[in-house]
Structure 1
């Protein structure tokens, strides 16, 4: 692969792969190795339809199907649209749909509140606002953990962190947090550190969904969580991706925090997203409580 650094601390831009050509035996082993080592990969100017998107995702692991999880039965998988366009048109800034998008502008890791967390998010741009904005930003919790002050590390090293979807939504809108779809899953505990099973490097497994640390009071726990996220997302530690239609950006949910950036909500913006769930081979036992 011909690559260049995405950020000085993490990530690669891959310049010479057409994702339509990737199979389990051809190109994917190189992609997976780079994913484990560098945590985030950008593939510019791809021609990736939903079928190609699904084929690529399935190489990483089981597709995350939240509708099936919530229903407790098989529900046909559909590629998620992260968009301010609905059947009735473009939503305005205070619509609950748009407020939910704004909650994604908090630093987070996808699916930490689910029974099985996500391994990866594969995101691609389909429609972009003409006036710009709507960047996606990434920060490494692997390099963040390595550089974290000792006193903060001591509070997190053996910690168990609890996660709740409605917790992050409440920071945007109490009404949003009360919606049934924000309260489908019970609170979920995970160990704070996730060692990469390939490289051995530890990452902090944390998110805006994190609301409590076992053994600490709620206020102190939230202060520790906020301080850890703030350290990992210092301005110099952040990669901000300005989208072009066709770009494909993927990252390791075990080791990367991400967030969206605002745009003019009167203009449409649609990204397509697939998350894959972790398996035992991805080190799930390291964070799961026995």
Structure 2
């Protein structure tokens, strides 16, 4: 079979056929998929019944695995997965849905907010690859927003205003907006804000995009209320239906997205039922701005 991609979203998102992710990619296939990512920003692969090891091997065609430390509050001894994949399920180590009042569950609800994976890291993530191992029967769709198209649609005055703005990103901002304020001193140190450009340029095709996320809670040189009003306005603009694609998960779907060009969020679902989703994260290669100690 020959690898092919067809657009399924309003202005982005491609559906890929002609590739079996259980098998190693040829160099040509990896090149074609990365080129498709540059163009579509989100790729959907159906019917990929893969193991953790196969998922990770596929991801490593596009860069190094991101070090997951600092991305959650789960202790190492409580990890459900030992394969190097990020566990974005609603399951505990015992394989059962987390209790609704568990600290891990409450923290994970932040994934329902619009965000870009690992924007809270000094070097944010490149690609994320999410595999559906158990699909929840009620809800749980993932929505994606094209931040390139959102930037393009801004008026020239706004583009000029935001061109050089620097934001602070932290998991404490996103979780705090939901009322999660329970952090140990170790976690506060781990989640210290990092700085990211509000407008970033893609390194391969040079197209500009908004770099927004629920993790963004401050703008350097701007009062907190003013910054949050601007960030809220930009997020409302960027998540209009004309820029958004809704992915309705089927068993063994794998969806791959470029965090440099998109935002995403999961929609609410029945937390009493299992949802087993496993993510491989490809590390970014450089910061968007020189890091300084957050003030």
Residue 122 (structure 2) pairs with residue 121 (structure 1): no
Question: Under a length normalisation based on structure 2, what TM-score does the superposition of the two structures give?
Answer: 0.88
The equivalent of 2:265 in structure 1 is 259
**CA gap 1:209/1:11 in 2 versus in 1, 3 angstroms:** same
Indicate how the Cα distance of structure 1 residues 261 and 216 shifts in structure 2: closer, same or farther if over 3 A, else same.
Answer: same
Contact (CA 8 Å) 2:172, 2:191: kept in 1 or not?
A: no
Structure 2 distance, partners of 1:247, 1:186, is: 34
Distance 1:193 1:8 in 2: 22
Give unmatched runs, 5+ long, in structure 1.
Answer: 71-75
1:10 is paired with a residue whose SS is coil
Bigger strand share: 1
Q: Distance in 1 between matches of 2:223 and 2:19?
A: 49
Cα distance 1:50–1:175, how it changes in 2: closer, same or farther (>3 A)? same
Write the distance in 2 (CA, Å) between the matches of 1:156 and 1:68.
29
RMSD: 2.2
Distance 2:144 2:71 in 1: 27
Residue matched to 1:28: 30
Q: Cα offset for 1:183?
A: 4.8
- The two structures have a TM-score, normalised by structure 1, of 0.89
| Structure 2 equivalent of residue 153 of structure 1 | 159
Shift of 1:85: 1.4
Contact 1:122–1:249, Cα closer than 8 Å, also in 2: yes
Contact 1:100 / 1:176 at 8 angstroms: preserved in 2? no
With over 3 angstroms needed to count, the CA separation of the structure-2 counterparts of 1:141 and 1:179, relative to structure 1, is farther
Q: 1:133 to 1:167 in 2, by over 3 A?
A: same
Q: Residue deviations 1:9-54, cap 9 Å, x none?
A: 1110012211223435141110011111211100011122111111
